[in-house]
Amino acid sequence: MSGVLDKLGRPLRDLRISVTDRCNFRCPYCMPREVFGENFPFLPKTAVLTFEEIARVACLAIGLGVRKIRLTGGEPLLRRDLVSLVGMLAEAEGLTDLALTTNGLLLAGAARALKDAGLHRVTVSLDALDDALFRRLGGTDRPVADVLRGIRAAADTGLRLKINCVVQQGINESEVLPLAAWCRSEGHTLRFIEYMDVGNHNRWRHESVVAAAVLRERLHEAFGLVPLEPAWRGEVARRFRYADHPGEVGFVSSITEPFCGDCNRARLTADGKLVTCLFASGGTDLRGLLRSGASDDQVSSALRSVWQAREDRYSELRAGTHQPDQKVEMSYVGG
């Protein structure tokens, strides 16, 4: 299988596929209710890629070097019959890692079928264990217990599991140690993600970011951390194990220690745009090509050209003067 390199010599390895732009949460930092309200123009069904279209792009991307696919959204478990798509992708030759990112609300009822269909891993976003804070951060009236039930159900099926927590200064810093203690006791790997300036609506400010180094120090003081070697080039998290415990914790520092140099990730939006940076202002439409009767060679060569033309490294440039006017929304491009 031939690989493809971008202008900075980065290979294409990782494809994130947003299967819907809709979500059952209204996290103020991602999909604030005042913007994504009842009248928000979400994509009509006909605009969203079918499972066959998604699987076709995925297989062609695998032909160009992709080894890892993550299904995301919006909330991917809102997409009807997602299990069928998982089954289709699980059969794709050459794929070594098939993962799903979810808020976990619907996971309890879906975990067994997802595992049976061939999903390898689930990442559950969880920003607080405290119920009132969880509801506030999720813009939801559902209890955190529903998500914990989903996590337990996924673990029971044998799916590999990770918990992701976005930490915001003065909002959920109080949750950092309780979450780490809970993940340790439950045997779940935990990732702390720096709050990023994605999208246009979350009123992001640099002061809201809690630097990964600060969190690392806090966890080290509380539990003792031992660094782990990166498992592969381009791994975004800096990983640690606990000194006295087999559990693992990692830190993703897109803001304070950008890692664009190793970024090997493309994103496919729910309506078929190929986006090569989380902070991009747009993407390349593949849906038109897919629906125009294009051959596999034509679609593959479109994918190849987009990747070969890629030179974005927004996180590294953020500190300078470069600021895109309008960025794609996280819920649209897929977190």
Binding site for ligand SAM (CB under 6 A): 23, 29-30, 72-73, 75, 101-103, 125, 164, 166, 193, 195-196, 198, 202, 330-331, 335
CB 60 within 8 A of CB 299: yes
Which residue number, 27 or 302, has a Cβ lying nearer to ligand SAM? 27
Joined tokens for residue 175: 């949750």
Q: How far is the CB of 316 from ligand SAM (least distance, A)?
A: 17
Residue 71 bridge partners (DSSP): 17, 100
Which residue number, 247 or 334, has a Cβ lying nearer to ligand SAM? 334
Which residue number, 195 or 240, has a Cβ lying nearer to ligand SAM? 195
Which residue number, 64 or 278, has a Cβ lying nearer to ligand SAM? 278
Q: How far is the CB of 179 from ligand SAM (least distance, A)?
A: 13
CA distance 74 to 20: 5
Residue 11 bridge partners (DSSP): 5
Q: What share of the chain is helix, strand, coil (3-state, %, to 5)?
A: 35, 20, 45
Residue (of 87, 77, 79, 84) closest to 110 by Cα position? 77
Which residue number, 300 or 315, has a Cβ lying nearer to ligand SAM? 315
Q: How far is the CB of 312 from ligand SAM (least distance, A)?
A: 18
Beta-sheet strands, E only, within 32-143: 68-72, 97-102, 121-125
CA distance 332 to 282: 11
Q: How far is the CB of 288 from ligand SAM (least distance, A)?
A: 25
Residue nearest to ligand SAM according to CB distances in the complex: 335
Which residue number, 23 or 69, has a Cβ lying nearer to ligand SAM? 23
CA 150 to chain CA mean position, Å: 18
CA distance 157 to 86: 16
Q: How far is the CB of 164 from ligand SAM (least distance, A)?
A: 5
Q: How far is the CB of 76 from ligand SAM (least distance, A)?
A: 6
Joined tokens for residue 118: 């061939």
